[in-house]
Chain A
Amino acid sequence: MKQIISIIIIMLTLVPLGNAQEPFKQSLSGIKKVSLKASTDMKVEVTQGNELILDWGKICDGCDDNGNYNDLPYVREQVEKKRNKAKGLKAIYADGVDNTGFGMQLDRDGEVLRIKDLKPITQRRSFTIKIPKGVSLEVDTSTLGSVDIDGFSDELEVTSNVGHVKLVNVTGPITASTSTGPIDVIFTTVSQNSPISLTTSTGDIDVTLPSNTNANVELRSTMGTVYSNFDLVKPREDGLKNITGNRKIKGTLNNGGVKVYLSSSTGDIYLRKQ
């Protein structure tokens, strides 16, 4: 008995008080797509393992992205106070049930894992999610949040409203749409599997492709300007009237390939060769 108690005491002292919670982990066996809905700034990274990893994120002023506040005594005190106040109670949310202990709701729907952040941006400024290779991702931040993704080589579907969408070192297939948020994408290579489509209402679209990319590009900005340093070969005039009246620029890169479609109402479009 004494031994057990002393073990418990040792264990308790090993857990630093007020330290950030361990990241949430979820096995993704049998899951082909993760669907993420949140109203905050999201960072997506790729992990080598086969588990999805979710950090608490920036949940207070002075916290870091993992929810750590240890090194700031004042913040720590405030958060401790609040935690003690909520002791024995459970946080409840209007939008769903927190079944992760992270203020997020997780539902499995066949091969799709749906994650919904129940906290508003005022309570969680940002968080990071790590996803194993081979799983496609849908991200929806239709209120205030933004999306930053680095090194993703599976299929991506991104929806944002005013926040930016920044995709770096990606391959596609990618479909993204925003209202005023700008979309920036830097491709390492371009997957020929299925089309890439980026569209905004007023945000700029800025895409960088490797110079040897095979693609059929279609660029359209109704009221903005299209810029590129690719030689976009204009298709031959066949004398037929363009019924849509759209000022659409069509061109092939390196004999053509997968469709790359960039479209905006008032935003400018930048297609860069690298």
Chain B
Amino acid sequence: MMLAMLDNRSVSKRIQAVSYSEDISTPDEEVLEALIDRLHFDGSVNVRLAAAEALSKYSENEKVKNAFIKSLTNEKNPNIQITVIQFLVDIQDKRALAPMQQLLEQTETPDYVKEQVSAGLQQLI
């Protein structure tokens, strides 16, 4: 039911579905993949952010780690970028170094995101 709800047309309902997944102690791969799908492709910033927060709990999962790395390269919303950076720095995933460096160099990256990136880079190296 939760999986079907993740495709609901209502943004609020999709966030609710993401929240339900947080109540499952050990979600199966199908649930994680559905959440990753939301993180990468949902049209709503609110849903992508909720998915990022929900996925943050599964820091041991390779799929989840890869998903955050991919999001770091593609995501344009500063708020989600910061959430993703914090996760990757916390789990000390060195693969984040290159895309983070790239964010620093891009002119369209807001200053406050760059600030977070710089702080993160110091903790990663």
Contact = CB atoms under 8 A, between A and B. Distances in A.
Query: Are A and B associated in one complex?
Result: yes
Contacts of A265: 78-79, 82, 112-113
A195 interface: yes
A174 B13 CA distance: 10
Contacts of B83: 244, 246
B101 interface: no
A197 B86 contact: no
B25 to A, nearest CB: 13
A155 interface: yes
B112 A202 contact: yes
Contacts of B87: 243-245
A158 to B, nearest CB: 10
B89 interface: yes
Chain B contact surface mostly = helix
A200 interface: yes
A177 B91 CA distance: 28
B110 interface: yes
B67 to A, nearest CB: 15
Contacts of B89: 245
Contacts of A243: 56-57, 59, 87, 90-91
B44 interface: yes
A244 B15 contact: no
A194 B78 CA distance: 25
A155 B49 contact: no
Contact of A197 (B9, B15, B57): B15
Interface residues of B, number: 33
B53 interface: yes
Interface in B85-125: 86-87, 89-91, 110, 112-113, 115-116
Contacts of B56: 243-244
Nearest to B90: A245
B77 interface: yes
B110 A263 contact: no
A50 interface: no
Contacts of A259: 15-16, 19
B90 A175 contact: no
Nearest to A179: B78
Interface string A223-235: 1000000000000
Contact of A155 (B12, B19, B78, B115): B12
A183 B89 CA distance: 30
B79 A174 contact: no
A198 B49 CA distance: 10
Nearest to B53: A244
A126 B8 CA distance: 32
B11 A266 contact: no
Interface in B1-59: 9-13, 15-16, 19, 44-47, 49-50, 53, 56-57, 59
B44 A195 contact: no
Given A155-B10, A174-B12, A246-B83, A199 B113 contact: no
A33 interface: yes
A201 interface: yes
Contact of A175 (B11, B53, B57, B116): B11
Given A197-B50, A199-B49, A261-B15, 12 more contacts: A157-B11, A157-B12, A159-B45, A175-B11, A175-B44, A175-B47, A201-B77, A202-B110, A222-B112, A223-B115, A265-B82, A266-B112
